Amino acid sequence: MQTYDGLLAAVTAHEGQTQEVRDPATGAVIGHAPVHSVEAVDRAIETAAAAAASWAAISDADRAALLHRAADAVEAHADALVELLSREQGKPLNGPNARFEVGACAVWLRAAADTPHPNHEIINDESGRATMHYRPIGVVAAITPWNWPLMIAIWQIAPSLRMGNTVVQKPSEYTPLSGLALVRILNTVLPEGVLQSVSGGGDLGARLTSSPKVGKIMFTGSTATGKKIIEASAEHVTRLTLELGGNDAGIVLPDVDAKAIAPDLFWGAFINTGQTCAALKRLYVHDSVYDEVVAELVAFARTVPMGVGLEEQNELGPLQNKMQYDIVDRLVQSAIDSGATIECGGNPEREAPGFFYPTTIVSNIDPHNPLVVEEQFGPALPVVRFSDLDEALVLANELEVGLGASVWSSDREKALDVAARMESGTVWINGHGGLHPMIPFGGAKQSGYGKEFGAEGLKAVAVAQVVSG
């Protein structure tokens, strides 16, 4: 088991160019992350490609066993990982934050190991026999974001390894230390060359996504960057799984118990201080319960402390970077300028250290205000009033994104009817954003394509081959 100081020293040891990494809650310098060259990316790809055949030749059972050992390694180093994650990303230790994320890494590693292999017999009768096999692709590029830098990395790495691929991971330049630390821990278990990590800016990602030796690209991030990856992948027809922008809608029907649903509504929107692709980002509430839902949301919001992540009492933290802070600030200001009501928050302490933006709930807002139609990706929730369900569905569906959505009702059948009319990859009933390692997840429209998790996730990182005869 490595201490925080030991783990930090290991991932910052680098003789070349580095970048300063600061705690978004305090502004303090954490350390200096390596900035690798594009030549280093090429070497990592070559190393992964050289290891691919021997890794693919290992039995599926042995690869699964190694994933279990990797989960054990994550748990053995959990305290150091949690502290590094909290310092670098800003998320608090408690609530659905740093300890939760590190724990989820072990859970998803084991789930990827234990999911039944998707090979299966298609037909076996008098007409003949055919079987479906899922073969390794080769090298997978895993390009991971700054909001959940460990958990999303595992979502990409674990199934890729299970299916016999080798991986080159590039963490976000905003959270490089967490990504490097995770790979270092996994590599205490994995054979040499199977998992590589490179740290740096967008030029490294561009090198990965244009390489002819990369057979699959997995990317979680903005729709704009996803479109660039699609273009880069076209020359070599590289396989893609893209989980892109969200701006998820929730619809609250008139039969709800406002007080009962308020905590789940809140955490659906404000998990990870709103910095989650599948968070609830715009809420449509029926007029008959609108005032009560807003009041209960505000009341609950006032009970959830925000502050420095390493202080045990906090459950909300800062925005991870100045870019995201400025986006949230601009969008809330657009609501204020339009005459919308700021029920709580909306007035950050601009001279205070850290990128803290107060928990903000906005009512009486025009459904086409920028805070509603642009993804804020932060702790500000617009609540839109509606009286006609058909009109609410038009508003919920009119954007070009469709990652997740939710319906809130005490009548399950009614909720299911509404869910069927929502244009998104996942629709939750009386909850929002909950994920399970066996339930496939992925977006519709410009929120990307491809599924992750469970058997569908394993198939997505393999080449399907039919053997007939």
Active site residues: 243, 277
CA distance 396 to 405: 9
Q: 445, 401 in Cβ contact below 8 A?
A: yes
How far is C-alpha 437 from the chain's CA centre?
A: 13
Q: Print burial letters for 85-110: b (CB count within 10 Å at least 16), e (below 16).
A: bbbbbbbbbbbbbbbbbbebbbebbb
**What sign does the dihedral 56-60-65-68 (CA atoms) show?**
positive
Residues near 8 by Cβ (< 8 Å), separated by ≥ 6? 30, 31, 84, 177, 181
Count of alpha carbons within 13 Å of 351, Cβ hemisphere only?
Answer: 0
Q: Fill in the amino acid letter for 112.
A: A
The beta-strand segments (E) located in 68-171 are 120-125, 128-136, 139-143, 166-170
DSSP state for residue 219 in the 8-state scheme? E
DSSP code of 196? E
Q: Which residues contact 195 (CB under 8 A, 6 or more apart)?
A: 48, 157, 161, 166, 167, 169, 183, 186, 187
Residue 342: how many other CB atoms lie within 10 Å: 18
- Give me 321's structure tokens: 């970077």
* 23, 87 Cβ separation under 8 angstroms: yes
Q: How far is CA 457 from the centre of its chain?
A: 15
Using the structure block, give the residue that is written with the tokens 């050992």: 69
Q: How many residues does the chain have?
A: 469
Which among 442, 394, 401 is positioned nearest to 418, based on CA atoms? 394
Identify which of 401, 399, 363 has the alpha carbon closest to the alpha carbon of residue 381: 363
Asked if 191 contacts 55 with a C-beta cutoff of 8 angstroms, the reply is yes
Torsion sign, CA atoms 263, 265, 268, 271: negative
Q: What are phi and psi of 362, to 5 degrees?
A: -120, 125
Give the position of tokens 């821990």. 185
